[in-house]
Amino acid sequence: MTRLFGTDGVRGLANEKLTASLALRLGAAAAVVLTKDRRSHKRRPTAIIGRDPRVSGEMLAAALSAGLASRGVDVLRVGVLPTPGVAFLTDDYGADLGVMISASHNPMPDNGIKFFSAGGHKLPDDVENEIEETMQDLQEQGPTGTSIGRIIEEAPDARSRYLSHLADAMQTDLSGIHVVVDTANGAASAVAPLAYEAAGAQVTPIHNRPDSYNINDNCGSTHIEQIQQAVVEYGADLGLAHDGDADRCLAVDAEGNVVDGDQIMAILAVALNEDNDLRHSTLVATVMSNLGLRLAMEREGIKVIDTKVGDRYVLEELNRGGYDLGGEQSGHVVFSEYATTGDGTLTGLHLMKRMATTGKSLAELADVMTVLPQVLINVPVSDKSIILSNDDVISCRAAAEEELGDAGRVLLRPSGTEEIFRVMVEAADEEQARKVAGRIAAVAAAV
């Protein structure tokens, strides 16, 4: 059977794959699994539900609420808030679980459901598997009478609690910094500009008028060219681009040059390390992070630990090792002291904090690392599981690594969702990276 959960919750075309009936059963099963160890408490279990503005979120929130309540869980709906806001509120309200309804950077017709356990933590694979199994065996009859859960339609203080949390994590005056923020007509359309203004920045928001249909529509972190143009047009010091659920942040300097997640992590890792706030002088990144990040961190005396691709694996490593900072090239950045997941608004605040405390421009700060050319080729194959062990691929890879030496890198990995084999090559010269990647891709395609 195909696994329901992907790398970040359950996602698909709303009302086709991701239907109201599926959401209802998913909510009921999650209630059983995520509250089974807390049923002995005197109070009824509680769940927090938040969503991004896309139109299908209203339908799915209603279905999830019904599913949870049908298994004796009280539901507190917090409305439109970023994913990290829902994770924070799950902990802040002392809830037993949290649910975020969002398909992140995907287009409007898609949607997704992601769960948080008590404390606002993402679920490990084994717990997601248990929820799927429970869905198959779920009994029609749930609790009755006074044991049915209640649904509170709106938490009036949810937004203010999250904004207070962001302010507490900041503690720096950003007066004099002019920022353009692209909220992708998404979950951060209200809170991100408010958080930046509360810290003292001059804020020019764009794409901050969600109408339930325009989320991620030619805007946000997946359409960075919009904020590149806006920063130059408004003469701002920087731009910050979020995705639909605002767990990502990409930046643009005053000249309109993109500062990606790797560069942001480099800037913030150096800042924390200088203040002795980077535990074990270690940064956690995925294998897809640019070699330039690793070289820069080595120069700064900071160790880099690699994980598999996906912010959930970054989070697991942060928790395992007790580290402070980690993230992905895509702009997911996690400050473990303040958040249990990537928080794009928090990332933007700390990036501007570094500008304010050093008096340097974003371009000057980004010079801490040199981004090496990175070429990625997706190779359709009949059986991705055999490519890495193929003798021809092994020989070709070895020759490539010898050619590149310490100035380059080869990464080969199968896709987690498709019959595709990914070939990634980094080198000091882009043409060399393309040639090397092309040679390996051709060998893999012939297997």
Give whole-number Cα distances, 227 to 105, 106, 188, 201, 221, in Å: 16, 19, 16, 17, 9
Give the strand pairing for 250-253 and 97-101. unpaired
173 is in an annotated binding site: no
What single-letter DSSP state applies at residue 427?
A: -
The full length of the chain comes to 447
Q: If we measure between CA atoms, which residue out of 322, 411, 426, 324 comes closest to residue 375?
A: 426
Give Cα 98 distance to the centre of its chain.
16
70 is in an annotated binding site: no
Q: How many CB atoms lie within 10 A of CB 193?
A: 20
245 is in an annotated binding site: yes
Scan for tokens 């949290």, then name that residue: 98
Which of 56, 70, 102, 104 is catalytic? The answer is: 104
Q: How many CB atoms lie within 10 A of CB 141?
A: 7
247 is in an annotated binding site: yes
Please give the angle made by the CA atoms of 245, 249 and 255, to the nearest 5 degrees.
140
Q: Which amino acid is at 317?
A: E
Any catalytic annotation for residue 104? yes
d(CA 138, CA 68): 13
Active site residues: 104
Question: Residues forming the annotated binding site for Mg(2+)?
Answer: 104, 243, 245, 247
Question: Residues forming the annotated binding site?
Answer: 104, 243, 245, 247
